[in-house]
Structure 1
Amino acid sequence: MRIESDFLVIGSGIAGLSYALQAADHGRVALVTKYDVSESATNYAQGGIASVISSEDSFDAHINDTMVAGAGICHEDVVRMVVEEGPQTIRNLIDWGVKFTTKGSSYDLTREGGHSARRILHAEDITGREIQRALVEAARNHKNITIHEHHIAIDLITSAKICNVPPCENRCLGAYVLDIKGKVVKTFSSQITLMASGGAGKVYLYTCNPDIASGDGVAMAYRAGATIANMEFMQFHPTTLFHPQGKSFLISEAVRGEGAILRRRDGTAFMEKYHKLKDLAPRDIVARAIDNEMKISGDDCVFLDITHEPADVVRNRFPNIYQTCLELGLDMTSEWLPVVPAAHYLCGGVAVNTNGETDLKALYAIGEVTFTGLHGANRLASNSLLEAAVYANRAYRHTVEAIKQLRQEAVEIPLWNSGTATNSDEMVVVSNNWDEIRRFMWNYVGIVRSDKRLARAMRRVELIQSEIEEYYWNVIITSDLIELRNIATVAQLIVACAQMRKESRGLHYTIDHPERDDVNCRHDTFIRKEF
């Protein structure tokens, strides 16, 4: 089956939906999403979106906070651009129907780790869910947007792969996509392909990401020939709930922003010895501190204490977190919450310019799937939703001009061919490899690394890659196999970039090179597939 559109959008979070809503005024948009359209990392974002709204705040302050958190390798021009375009982005979201929490006649701004001022707009403690609700509603009502739910992209289609008369300029032409329910592969052809597929937390054993976060966009872009960068910088959120039924439920950084204190089991507050901002230190520092405290004590977790704040204030400020914890038998107004770090946000990804343009013609990428230069070695809290929305606006403006030329370059795209592939009778191969990758990534390429651990991880992932490739081409494709192939590719990219960085910086900490090296280090680690 062939589906044609002007714009193909892969992903349905704030990045993909914001872009689709604008591009749809200039052509037909096909929006592909793995599960229900509302299932995205955006939907789970609790804290909020950072932007300079208050007269007591400034662009320079937000820029400085971002640069400090990024540990010296943020691209300052990108940081300034994103911060200064933030207020307009907020107005766009409000125009699409997002309702941020107010306090009197103003927005109720909160503060999170690494921020020097209150600049986080939020919708109670379900900001992402509110943004997702408004954007999905607007997209469903737009006549030029067709949403394809339960569809998972397999690979990008490029002219270099199908051109019969080389040399041929390499250009993205769309994607092959599996209809998960219909069990058929569809050919999506488009003038512009925009990747907004989110992150890769599922590469790790413990993550607060939704199940969709298997690094599909990074893996597909890499296989197609696009440049990937800074994959060593995986952010571990310091405070996910440690509970057998909690399924890595995230306890928002905003809880610490409102005064919560991290404690050992004996009640000792420990963050003061790690950073002058104590519990509001940047995430990389807090996550390493917790990891160190757990190793020193032998405990399975540390504790987050907000019991000193008035109970009604806590319940009103964090109704979703309060209720979820209560259902698990934990009352955060009267007892400490057990927490541990978990894989949360990928600061590297597909390398793009300030318009979201990759180095593969007609392929754009925005949101967590990308490396823009904004986050450096560690993302500042609540800058992710801001980045996604700002780049959606910029990619929209650039693509509506670029498409005018691309419409003149028609290329015949072949349909998907399964060849001699048969149904698999050994799905244990998929489940075993999936589990092994996530375990060795957690143990060897987690919060604390070493040269030896990285070498072990690379040996394992290379072996698994060869097994997957042999298996992949001999069986009829499934969504589980697609995701396994992608997490293996992403794992390999993370390890390869980590091996390039012979220093400790931000989210990349290695015991063999424990100091930051501003003289000899790579500013960014780039990697590209050789054909």
Structure 2
Amino acid sequence: MVSTNYLVIGSGIAGLTFSVKIAERFPERKVVIVTKANEDESNTKYAQGGVAVVLDAEKDSFEKHIHDTLVAGDGLCNKEVVEMVVKEGPQRLKELMYWGANFDIAKTGQLDLGKEGGHSEHRVVHYKDITGREIERALLQRAHQLENIQILPHHFAIDLITNHHLVGVNGDNDACYGAYVLDQKQGRIFTVKADETLLASGGIGRVYGHTTNPVIATGDGVAMAYRAKALVKDMEFVQFHPTALYEPEGESSFLISEAVRGFGAYLRNKEGHRFMLDYDERAELASRDIVSQCIDNEFKKTGDTHVFLDCTHLDVDAFKAHFPNIYNKCKEKHIDIATQWIPVVPASHYLCGGVEVNKEGKTSINNLFACGECSRTGLHGANRLASNSLLEALVYAHSIFEYHCKQEPEFKQVAIPDWNDEGTVIPKEHILIQHNLKELQALMRNYVGIVRSNSRLKKARKRLDLIYNEVEDLYRESKITTSLCELRNMVNVAHLIINQSLLRKENSGGYYNIDNT
């Protein structure tokens, strides 16, 4: 057993920001960060756009940013939360820069501010088109300088430890005591006992297969919290990024940042028609939900599998300077952006719902906090405004930190049983896991995608029940593997998305059901 004051599950911007702050403030307290791949592998690393922050006092204001966020959220944001996050933005960005994160500087000598879909002003602070990677680098560098932070890469959190795991602990007030963790290299499962646990486990994109997320985004934190009976809300609001690079054979899709449309690129169908002008006066700069639904509508009209992003009228040198990563990826795929259009398709990108938390990041379970994409704060409502997610993670990591500055960790004298896998065997047929995974992803894409219907959702629920039963049987009989746990988590997440979709009777933001009026 490993004992710690703080267990942090996830090593992206949310988990690292909290860890660095609490470790700096309390050098005598121990922080253990569990992360299932390399320590720098997270959704944060793949964030291209940037951090939306109000910095231009002449043109921009907190009120404008708040308004843009509320409009994107389609009336379902928590206004108090929106105000808190937007107003804290400049201070949180300053801290990030103090820790060594670099951002692009304009000719004026000030931070270069980009503009993305749904924003009324230029306010996105960025580092070329690899902002997330730069933030991840700076935070990891700082974390490694702090002796009271221990990072465990290639360690997979299997389940949260709550009252029902303990002998002789009852009561209605459920609490979290840490987690059972699989050391993936050694193949052993051990207990991490923690006074406080923070879920910062990222997104759920792999549930759909075609996604801009990395392979690690399997909804582990949301699924663990759900099984622990924490409140999970707004799972129907899955944001699809309208412009991922179309690759017929591939699953994960390379993201073509929203900032490329902010830079002036046009969306065209194969006939060359700039179709967004038919749908919305903001054209390519409409919010993501609208652009994705419009592309989906084009597919239904034409039977096409993709549309195109036209950058041929843009200054190529300026494009290369702003988006070197995107330019190089296109070049690698033999696409010359100066003369050829980029084939693009919507792909699952971001979860606006998740584990419900208050303004201090507390979940409905004592001693369990959540931050970042796995949490549902009320900031995004029905649809996230571009580049608000890194901002949200910074602000909420700080809120959770502030709470723990006032609240000493409570040492809990409880006996936690070891993980019991008696009677289980090493699964002989890995093909069963892969088969169910492919079936689950196809089910979610085809039945629970950008545009939904009640009949498709009900059929999806029926088919998911069969997958669920097969996976649970496999889980009970088998020695634990990462791939089996991830599949189980994705089945839980799919269940939440489908059932919460069926409960929503009106269309809002990123949620569109043809049976709702």
TM exceeds 0.5?
yes
The 8 Å contact of residues 241 and 340 in structure 1, kept in 2 or not, is answered as: yes
The 8 Å contact of residues 303 and 337 in structure 1, kept in 2 or not, is answered as: yes
The alpha-carbon deviation at position 168 of structure 1 amounts to 6.4
1:420 aligned onto 2:419? no
Instruction: Find 2:46's aligned residue among 27, 35, 44.
Output: 44
Q: How well do the aligned residues superpose, as a CA RMSD in angstroms?
A: 1.1
Distance in 1 separating the partners of 2:240 and 2:261 = 16
Distance in 1 separating the partners of 2:483 and 2:169 = 35
Distance in 1 separating the partners of 2:70 and 2:356 = 19
Identical counterparts, % of pairs: 50
The alpha-carbon deviation at position 463 of structure 1 amounts to 1.9
Deviations 1:163-187 (A, max 9, x none): 4153364210000011111100011
The 8 Å contact of residues 192 and 399 in structure 1, kept in 2 or not, is answered as: no
Q: 3-state DSSP class of the match of 1:124?
A: coil
1:198 aligned onto 2:197? no
Amino acid paired to 2:271: D
Distance in 1 separating the partners of 2:184 and 2:175 = 27
The alpha-carbon deviation at position 245 of structure 1 amounts to 7.1
Instruction: Find 1:181's aligned residue among 179, 182, 185.
Output: 185
Q: 3-state DSSP class of the match of 1:441?
A: helix
Amino acid paired to 1:200: I
1:520 aligns with none
The alpha-carbon deviation at position 403 of structure 1 amounts to 3.4
Alignment coverage as a number of residue pairs: 511
Instruction: Find 1:218's aligned residue among 218, 222, 226.
Output: 222
Deviations 1:96-120 (A, max 9, x none): 1100000131000010000000000
Structure 1: gaps spanning 5 or more residues:
516-531
Q: 3-state DSSP class of the match of 1:178?
A: strand
The 8 Å contact of residues 163 and 170 in structure 2, kept in 1 or not, is answered as: no
Evaluate the alpha carbon distance shift between residue 215 and residue 297 of structure 1 in structure 2; reply closer, same or farther with a 3 A threshold: same
Distance in 2 separating the partners of 1:410 and 1:89 = 36
1:495 aligned onto 2:504? no
Distance in 2 separating the partners of 1:181 and 1:261 = 47
Instruction: Find 1:367's aligned residue among 372, 379, 382.
Output: 372
The 5 Å alignment of 1:51-450 reads 51-55=53-57, 56-104=59-107, 105-167=109-171, 169-244=173-248, 247-404=252-409, 406-407=410-411, 409-450=412-453
Evaluate the alpha carbon distance shift between residue 10 and residue 293 of structure 1 in structure 2; reply closer, same or farther with a 3 A threshold: same
Distance in 1 separating the partners of 2:169 and 2:357 = 29
Deviations 1:80-106 (A, max 9, x none): 000001011101110111000001310
Which deviates more, 286-295 or 209-218? 286-295
The alpha-carbon deviation at position 244 of structure 1 amounts to 4.5
Distance in 2 separating the partners of 1:74 and 1:175 = 32
The 8 Å contact of residues 360 and 396 in structure 2, kept in 1 or not, is answered as: yes
TM-score scaled by structure 1? 0.95
The 8 Å contact of residues 192 and 403 in structure 1, kept in 2 or not, is answered as: no
Distance in 1 separating the partners of 2:37 and 2:207 = 19
1:518 aligns with none
Distance in 2 separating the partners of 1:465 and 1:506 = 29
Amino acid paired to 1:365: A
Amino acid paired to 2:369: Y
Amino acid paired to 2:215: D
The alpha-carbon deviation at position 399 of structure 1 amounts to 2.4
Distance in 1 separating the partners of 2:393 and 2:376 = 11
Evaluate the alpha carbon distance shift between residue 512 and residue 169 of structure 1 in structure 2; reply closer, same or farther with a 3 A threshold: closer
Amino acid paired to 1:150: H
Deviations 1:429-456 (A, max 9, x none): 2111111111011000000110000001
TM-score scaled by structure 2? 0.97
The 8 Å contact of residues 9 and 20 in structure 1, kept in 2 or not, is answered as: yes
The alpha-carbon deviation at position 401 of structure 1 amounts to 2.9
The 8 Å contact of residues 159 and 170 in structure 1, kept in 2 or not, is answered as: yes
Q: 3-state DSSP class of the match of 2:407?
A: helix
1:11 aligned onto 2:10? yes
The 8 Å contact of residues 176 and 188 in structure 1, kept in 2 or not, is answered as: yes
1:454 aligns with 457
